[in-house]
């Protein structure tokens, strides 16, 4: 298991299905990673 911090640009790319969303998708969808989301990201997204 790895600890992953995903910033606002990663979430927006993933939700908007941008070309580089594939970089973030394995970490967001993966069950093996522990995803940490900073509180400010909630407000930005």
The pLDDT confidence band at residue 2, using thresholds 50, 70 and 90, is: confident
Domain ranges of the chain: 2-44
pTM (whole model) above 0.75: yes
- pLDDT for 37 equals 87
pLDDT at 16 over 90: yes
Q: What is the pLDDT of residues 20-37, one digit of tens each?
A: 999 999 888 887 878 888
Give 45's contacts (C-beta < 8 A, 6+ positions apart): 8, 11, 12, 15
Mean pLDDT of the chain: 88
């Amino acid at each position: 298991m790895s600890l992953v911090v995903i910033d606002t640009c990663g979430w927006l790319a993933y939700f908007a299905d941008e070309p580089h969303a594939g970089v973030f998708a394995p970490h967001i969808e993966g069950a093996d990673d522990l995803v940490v989301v900073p509180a400010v990201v909630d407000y930005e997204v």
